[in-house]
Amino acid sequence: MTPQQIELVKATVPVLRENGVALTSYFYNRMLGNNPDLKETFNMGHQRSGAQAQALAGAVLAYAENIEDPSVLLPVVELIAHKHVSLNIKAPDYSIVGENLLHSISEVLNISMDDPLIEAWAAAYGQLADLFIATEKAIYDQHEQTKGSWLGWRNFKIAKKVVESDEITSFYLAPVDGGPLPKYEAGQYISVRVFIPELNLRQPRQYTLSTCPQADYLRISVKREDQKGDMVPGWVSNTLHSLPEGSEIEVSAPTGNFYLIDPNKRNVFISGGVGLTPMVAMLNQLVTLDMPQPVTFIHACRSKQVHAMKQHIHELKAKYPRLHTVTAYEFPHASDKLGEDYDFAGRLDLSIIDRALLPENADYYLCGPMPFMAAQHKALVARGIPAENIHSEAFGTGGVRH
């Protein structure tokens, strides 16, 4: 990009702050109208709620604000690149996005496609697209080199369903072709694609693999969503719950950059609700290594009725004295037993947890809803835990990753 183009892009920052969501909403309507096949790639629930337009507006603004040094955005680029790979997004797709984005800027701002601002944003978008394409190529190459992995979508059948709580069910997924499965990092995820009758479309969603690598199945643990007022419940999550054993779905290969970094280090897992799924996967990986270091497993949920995998954790704790657990029930039922089912009533408060369970030299893994994550991160920093030791993954409804 030329210095003049950089200045032109920077000059659009105030406009993006004020009207970014209007621009990205227009862009999505334009692109999906011109390319309806892409509706099976994008989350139409987030399209209807406006969440996707808001997220893109924030991303475009961040890019414009850092146009002189886009390298500061590399961690975010890597995060998004893994999701793009899980959705089988390829280099030609960036041309479609770019064309519609530039025309949207032209049409929303009522300027000619020959305007220098459009030329500047074309250069900016090309620079960003090249960054994503290169990052994603490295991930695709890794899949091609990993035994048992695959590119694109692969048919799996629901071999078994196991009810884990009143809301969460585990799905054991076996490849229809009977071929091998890859070894993946505990904490990574897959994309699942199913047909949604209400939309007359296939829709993808990302779900964490809820156990460490197994020879003949992948496992996800999905929360069923109830209708809340006019809010549309999770289309994919609820469709999965309705499918019987033996049903076939489409699955992408395991990917993602949130996973257990060092099994030989002290590790602390802190989860809220269905956010415990990557934590159970990481814990199960440590079990395969005979739990080399003490582990703290902290979980918060509403009550025993929605406490998934409680028995599994209880059995591991009985077998491994190095495993220390803390459970908080926000709304314990009268039948829930303090000291047996849970340790604290109310919201999780790390300030009252024994300091020995939260060592400064440990790696910390957080997963759950955004407000939960923010509260726990703040509490850990207040207790002297270095921010660089805190790793987080945000979940939305149904265990869907953001």
As annotated, the active-site residues are 94, 136
Measured CA distances, 280 to 61, 97, 126, 188 (Å): 36, 37, 40, 12
DSSP string, 340-372: TTBSEESS--GGGS-GGGS-TTSEEEEEE-HHH
Chain centroid to CA 317: how far? Answer: 28
Residues 6+ apart with CB under 8 A from 116: 4, 5, 8
Question: What CA–CA distance (Å, rounded) separates 56 from 66?
Answer: 15
Complete edge-to-edge strand list for the sheet that includes strand 154-163: 201-208, 189-196, 248-251, 154-163, 168-175, 218-223
Kind of pairing, strands 295-301 and 323-329? parallel
Count CB-CB contacts under 10 A for residue 382: 10
Kind and range of the H or E element at 85?
helix 74-86
**SS3 category, 281:** helix
88: alpha, beta or left? (left if phi > 0; alpha if psi -120 to 50): left
Q: Which of 129, 119, 131, 97 is nearest to 7 (CA)?
A: 119
Question: What CA–CA distance (Å, rounded) separates 22 from 108?
Answer: 8
288 burial level (CB within 10 Å; 0-12, 13-18, 19+):
exposed
**SS3 category, 205:** strand
Measured CA distances, 329 to 166, 169, 326, 366 (Å): 15, 20, 10, 17
Asked whether 118 and 5 are in contact (CB, 8 A), the reply is no
Asked whether 236 and 205 are in contact (CB, 8 A), the reply is yes
Count CB-CB contacts under 10 A for residue 281: 25
